[in-house]
Every structure is written in structure tokens, then in C-alpha cells.
Structure 1
Amino acid sequence: MSTFWRIKVDGWLGRALPGRCVFCLTPLPGEPPWCEACFSELPWNLSACPGCAEPQPLAARGRRCGHCLRRPPGFDRAWVPLRYDAEVAGLVQRFKFDASPRAGRVLLELMAAGLPAEARGWPEALVPVPLHPRRARERGFDQARWLSERLGRLLGCPLVLAQRTRDTRTQRGLDRGERRRNLRGAFRLTSGLPGRVALVDDVMTTGATLDALAVACRQAGAEEVQAWAVARTPAGRH
């Protein structure tokens, strides 16, 4: 990991969990705040479709998946460093449903570590995936905005907030096509966007939510759109 990210982010985890690995709680002699074994064994999304970040076999690394070839998403490419599995799934659940700041800081650190230099300097604005106001009130926490605000400070990149214009039904149990139809026209931006924007969410499942938001961003003036998330759900677990 680069010195830049250690300086910017590792301090948070050192203060939150001083002297112990954030995954196995093994005592550590110093920084970073995890042991090398745990970090290397995380479910990194190393072989992923560059279009939608869906995990791919090693033999297909660097090539677009069949879904992207048949129907390219509204965004140009995706950066999602981890798979939604094992320790990462547990962190996301604690962050998303329990509003755990400790889990959020770890996920932010992992996302930052997984973004290549070409991605970090690319966007002119970040657009978090918005919750509908009713759901935001019920949950009391907007995980995509939380991540985007802190990631934006790290990158020196402004946020532009989108609106969710209708409270769509849950995506759970819907197939890829049903998810797209469920979210059609669900987002709106009331201000113009710069040419390059990155959309931010915690988990990317089929990409339907980010696809619908990308369409709204292009209507608001964005010329190039990327989709960023912490973790990608493998095919078959949607």
C-alpha cells in the first residue's frame, strides 16, 4: 500500500483498534492495523470484468463479461476491489445495518487501498447512490454518502448529491432485468455535472442501481461515468 494511504487513513484505524489486527485481533508491533496474513487472504476481486466488475475466471481477466457485451451498462467502467464474501460481507452488514463507524473506517481503508492511481485522480466529482428520504429516516444512516464524503476528502474531490425520486421496491429476489425495470427513472440531479464523475456505493450486486444513476448523471451533463463500490456480489449470489 502506498505511503499516501497509510498517512491519510491508517491513523483512524490505529486510534479505533490500537495495537491489534482489525480482523483476527492478533497483537501487532505497529502499523498497518492488520496482519499481513489477514490482508492477503481477503476476497480481493482481482479477476473482474472491467465493465461491471463482476468476478470472472482468471482466464477471462481483462475481458468484458457476456452481460456487458449484450447490454453495456450506463457507466463506462467499474472499480470494485473486493468480493462480497467472508470477512468483507460481515463488515458491510455491520456498517450498513448497524451503522458501525469502525466497520465503515475499515471498508473505506480497503476501498482506498484497492483503487489504482489512475482511478484516484480521474473523477471531477463523486455522486453517492442516494436513499429515498423515507428509507433514510427509517435507517437513520446513509452508507453511500458516508463513504463518499470521506473518500472525497481523501481525493480532494467534491460531492454532488442526486435525488431518489420514488421509493422503489426492494431489489432482493429480483433478477437482473427486473432490477433495471424497478429503477428506471428513479434518480434525478438538480444541478449540472462536470465531464467526469464517479458513482459511489458500498456494494454492487448486478449493477442495476448504478446503471440507473449513470443514466441520470449523463442527462445532467456528465460525459464519462465510472461506478465505484467497496465489494461486488459474485454471480449466483444476487
Structure 2
Amino acid sequence: MTLPAALTSAFRDALTFWLPCACAGCGAPDENLCDGCRADLAPRPSWREAAPDLGVVCGLRFEGVAARVVRAFKEEGRTALARDLAPALTAALAASIPPGARITTVPSSRAAFRRRGYRPVEVLARRAGCRPERLLRLRRAPADQRGLGGRARRENVRGAFAARVPLRGPVVIVDDVITTGATLAEAARALRAAGATDVRAVALAYTPRRRRSEAEAEVIST
């Protein structure tokens, strides 16, 4: 861990000690996550399409309690919540990993790592029982995707990733939240360009597209 990251972690731990705790899902006092909100994080894997040649298995819907808990985990430094989010990612991975697959994550930008002091997707993946490898690197840092439509997101991440090493065989990409799937599709393109075959993707959660039928997401039996 770098010195800035270590200082960030120490400051976060100090705040956790001195400030009162509240449930990340509903705000109930004196609990990191209450039983009711933990029940709302029960895995419900579903399939989404990131690109015509890339499907994504997601463990949760990014809304309500799940969205608040994911934001607290990613943006408020509440890394202990990874324990409660991990079962959803574990269920999605169980539906996705082919034999012999290597697992990697969508890389964080240096700015995001400096701000947080940790890499949320890697923390989640390890908590879900994986040993992710850093097979991808950022060739450039894309602009913030928030507020962009599907086409703009695809253009924003075009050429953003490259593989660190030549690859072969199956690879599973892990991400936290999928909106349009543009980031995962571009990561898959970079892995295939390096020789990976049977590239698949998994996300902790997906953002529901309100204009589409709820029947579009096929629930996967686990």
C-alpha cells in the first residue's frame, strides 16, 4: 500500500471509531447494516447484454437498498460492507466461470485509487472468493460516464484499455455496476485482441433501464 493510501485508510478507520455508525441501507442507528437491509441484498442473478458478443451475469439490481449500500462501500470508505455484498457477486460468478478461466477486473484510474485508497472491484472479488489478476491496464483515463448516453459512453471508453500480457483461454471480467455495458464491452475487446477466448463478464449489480420491460432480464436459477 502506498503512503497516501495508507494515510487514507488510517483516517477512515479513525472516523469509523469516533463517529456513530448507521445502517448503510436505511440509516438505522448503531448498525453497519441492519438485518432487513441485509435481506434486500439476497442474490438474484440475471443476464444482461453489454454487447452483441458479450453477456453479463449480474447479482443485484442497482436500486433502493442495494444502490445505497454499493455507494457507501465505494464512496464512503465503508469497506466492511464488502462482506454483505459478496454473496451476490459469488452467485453471479458461479453462473459464469468456465473451467480454467482467469479472472480479472476493470481497472480503476489512478485518481480514483488516490481518492479512495482501495480498488472496490478487487476488494469485492477477493471477498467473493476470487483471486483476480490485473490483466488489463488503462491506456488513458476516460471521462466521467455519469450523464452520458449509450453511444457517448462507448466513444468515451473506446481504446481506453489494453492487456498487460499475451493471453489465451477463457477470461472472466468482474465489475461493480453495469449501466449500458460500454466499459465491459471495451475491456472484452482488449482481452480478445491479446488472444483471450471465451471472454465473459460478471457485475455485482445492474442499473435497471426504466424504458424496458421487466421481463427482459432472465432470472438465472442457482
SS at match of 1:192: coil
After the TM superposition, which residues 86-165 of structure 1 pair with which residues of structure 2 at under 5 Å, given as runs? 86-112=64-90, 114-115=91-92, 117-120=94-97, 122=99, 124-151=101-128, 154-155=129-130, 159-165=133-139
Deviations 1:182-227 (A, max 9, x none): 0000001121223111111111111111111010010111111111
RMSD between aligned residues: 2.9
**TM-score, length of structure 1 as denominator length:** 0.66
Overall identity of the aligned pairs, in %: 33
Moved over 4 A (4+): 21-25, 37-46, 120-123
SS at match of 2:49: coil
In structure 2, give the amino acid aligned to 1:149: R
Aligned to 2:148: 174
In structure 2, give the amino acid aligned to 1:207: G
Deviations 1:90-135 (A, max 9, x none): 11001110121221221112321x3374424546211111112233
In structure 2, give the amino acid aligned to 1:216: A
Aligned to 2:49: 51
After the TM superposition, which residues 69-88 of structure 1 pair with which residues of structure 2 at under 5 Å, given as runs? 72-73=52-53, 75=54, 77-88=55-66
Q: Is the 8 A contact 2:37 2:65 kept in 1?
A: no
**TM-score, length of structure 2 as denominator length:** 0.71
Q: Is the 8 A contact 1:162 1:187 kept in 2?
A: yes
Task: State the alpha-carbon separation in 2 of the partners of residues 173 and 50 from structure 1.
Answer: 20
Task: State the alpha-carbon separation in 1 of the partners of residues 210 and 177 from structure 2.
Answer: 15
Call closer, same or farther: CA 1:208–1:200 in 2, change over 3 Å. same
Deviations 1:21-45 (A, max 9, x none): 99788xxxxxxx985x766655865
Call closer, same or farther: CA 1:39–1:98 in 2, change over 3 Å. closer
Q: Is the 8 A contact 2:108 2:119 kept in 1?
A: yes
Task: State the alpha-carbon separation in 2 of the partners of residues 137 and 116 from structure 1.
Answer: 28
Q: Is the 8 A contact 1:123 1:198 kept in 2?
A: no
In structure 1, give the amino acid aligned to 2:82: G
Q: After TM superposition, give the deviation of residue 78 of structure 1 in Å.
A: 1.2
In structure 1, give the amino acid aligned to 2:184: L
Out of 224, 227, 232, the position equivalent to 2:201 is 227
Out of 200, 207, 215, the position equivalent to 2:181 is 207
Q: Is the 8 A contact 2:106 2:173 kept in 1?
A: yes
Higher mean C-alpha displacement, 210-219 vs 157-166: 157-166
Q: Is 1:184 aligned to 2:132, yes or no?
A: no
Q: Is the 8 A contact 1:148 1:159 kept in 2?
A: no
- Size of the aligned set, in residue pairs, is 184
Name the structure with the higher strand share: 2
Task: State the alpha-carbon separation in 2 of the partners of residues 101 and 23 from structure 1.
Answer: 14
Task: State the alpha-carbon separation in 2 of the partners of residues 115 and 174 from structure 1.
Answer: 27
SS at match of 1:81: strand
Task: State the alpha-carbon separation in 1 of the partners of residues 158 and 73 from structure 2.
Answer: 27
Q: Is the 8 A contact 1:132 1:167 kept in 2?
A: yes
